[in-house]
């Protein structure tokens, strides 16, 4: 008789489950780097220029390519592999920048004189970088296609052919080339509004159609007051289009050069899509504003003959540091120290200017407080008219002293008289 173990089927099932779990873990380990590589940002060749457009055999020229990052803001993603009732959860962060490790130009028949860049670094969302290569045309005429090879860390490499015409009778496809001119204010105070004018010029040899322009401020410090999207149906060769836009700034906008990104998308005559990203640098420069916060004297009531400490607190109500702050008292007809140096006063803060004076006589003394300081706009001077009142000495103490002396004299005379009478 053959006996069958009742536990045999369960052991087989357990072995299969363990095998499934191991297989799922192996699949997860394979998928994790693949997903990371797929999500990693890279770059694209958004534009190129060959100078001169047609080279003669043996001539030297240049190829300039513009690399634009495809990176977007950092986001979180998760890779979940469920096995039975359990699971393997692996989370990852999509990088926000594309790191360019190397760029080289592969000649493909063109002699490359300078054509290698190493460790260029990171390109953030919407950022671009131009790179220029020196080339020499071969002795044979024709159209050549040297390739730009771009190595991006943790992302697929980029290969892009650039057509080079070496005295060929075959004309290359003409394409548009858009250049952006910017008109921005020399400086903008935090909290102020300002205007920007963009002029788009098509310097290429073909029309640019379906031109869309998108404005994207880099932070909440700058906010567009007008439209953020513009559309130009056609921009002919040699044509221009002027865009006027208004912005406003936050009162707490950080000082410095604040970027505004301009993304331009358009199509060639063969409907090939092009994109270029321009940056408008907005110089946000704060301005210091100085004034008198309070005035205090010690003693509070000044009497002729007193030594007086005059303390004037000077505050900065502006949006930038006030540097080299100096306060002086002018036209005050009292002797003493009339100059104080306060140094740097930050926005929203104040500092004491202390003057030591001698109130030699009573009266009302007008004077001018002059505050000198510098900020990013240069040197400034602020004047404020003030006055000091010096009272007459109080006669009551002197009368009291005289009365006391008189009483003492009278008492002494009475006692002397009484003693004489008794004798």
Domains of the chain by residue range: 12-172, 175-285, 290-390
SS3 81: strand
DSSP bridge partners of 15: none
Q: How does the average pLDDT of the chain come out, rounded?
A: 81
- What pLDDT sits at residue 414? 75
Phi and psi angles of residue 416, each rounded to the nearest 5 degrees, phi first: -65, -40
Return the CATH architecture of domain 290-390. Sandwich (2.60)
State pLDDT tens for residues 268-304.
877 778 888 888 888 988 889 999 999 999 998 888 8
At a CB cut-off of 8 Å and minimum separation 6, what does 301 contact? 391
- What pLDDT sits at residue 28? 43
Residue 96 has pLDDT above 80, yes or no: no
Nearest to 232 by CA among 223, 240, 220, 224: 240
**Exposure string for 412-421, b = 16+ CB within 10 A, e = fewer:** eeeeeeeeee
Among 155-164, 381-390, 411-420, the range of highest mean pLDDT? 381-390
Per CATH, 175-285 and 290-390 having the same topology is answered yes
CATH of domain 12-172: 2.60.40.150
CATH of domain 175-285: 2.60.40.10
State pLDDT tens for residues 195-245.
999 999 998 878 899 999 999 877 788 999 998 999 999 999 889 999 999
Residues in the chain: 423
Nearest to 318 by CA among 369, 371, 281, 355: 371
- What pLDDT sits at residue 92? 42
8 A C-beta contact, residue 226 and residue 245: yes
- What pLDDT sits at residue 39? 56
């Amino acid at each position: 008789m053959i006996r069958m173990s009742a536990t045999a089927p369960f052991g087989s099932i357990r072995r299969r489950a363990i095998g499934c779990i191991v297989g799922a873990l192996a699949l997860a380990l394979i998928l994790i780097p693949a997903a990371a590589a797929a999500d990693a940002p890279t770059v694209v060749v958004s534009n190129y220029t060959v100078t001169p457009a047609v080279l003669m055999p043996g001539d030297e020229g240049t190829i300039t390519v513009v690399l634009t990052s495809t990176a977007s803001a950092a986001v979180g993603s998760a890779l979940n592999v469920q096995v039975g009732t359990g699971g393997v959860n692996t989370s990852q962060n999509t990088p926000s920048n594309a790191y360019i490790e190397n760029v080289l130009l592969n000649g493909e028949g063109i002699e490359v004189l300078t054509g290698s860049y190493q460790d260029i670094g990171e390109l953030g969302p919407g950022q671009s970088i131009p790179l220029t290569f020196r080339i020499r045309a071969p002795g044979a005429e024709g159209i050549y296609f040297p390739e730009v090879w771009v190595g991006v860390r943790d992302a697929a490499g980029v290969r892009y052919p650039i057509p080079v015409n070496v005295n060929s009778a075959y004309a290359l496809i003409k394409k548009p080339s858009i250049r952006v001119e910017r008109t921005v204010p020399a400086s903008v105070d935090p909290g102020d509004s300002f205007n920007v004018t963009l002029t788009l010029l098509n310097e290429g040899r073909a029309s640019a159609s379906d031109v869309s322009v998108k404005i994207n401020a880099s932070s909440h410090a700058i906010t567009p007051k007008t439209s953020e999207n513009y559309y130009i149906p056609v921009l002919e060769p040699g044509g221009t289009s002027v865009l006027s836009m208004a912005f406003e700034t936050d009162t707490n906008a950080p000082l410095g050069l604040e970027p505004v990104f301009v993304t331009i998308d358009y199509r060639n005559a063969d409907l090939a899509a092009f994109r270029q990203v321009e940056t408008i640098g907005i110089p946000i420069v704060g301005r210091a504003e100085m004034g008198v916060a309070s005035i205090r004297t010690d003693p509070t009531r000044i009497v002729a003959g007193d030594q007086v400490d005059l303390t004037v607190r000077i505050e900065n109500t502006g949006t930038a540091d006030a540097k080299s702050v100096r306060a002086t008292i002018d036209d005050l007809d009292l002797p003493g120290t009339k100059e104080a140096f306060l140094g740097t006063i930050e926005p929203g803060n104040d500092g004491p200017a202390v003057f030591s004076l001698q109130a030699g006589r009573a009266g009302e003394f007008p004077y001018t407080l002059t505050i000198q300081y510098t900020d990013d706009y240069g040197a400034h001077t602020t004047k404020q008219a003030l006055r000091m009142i010096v009272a007459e000495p109080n006669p009551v103490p002197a009368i009291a002293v005289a009365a006391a002396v008189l009483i003492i004299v009278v008492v002494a005379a009475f006692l002397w008289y009484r003693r004489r009478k008794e004798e």
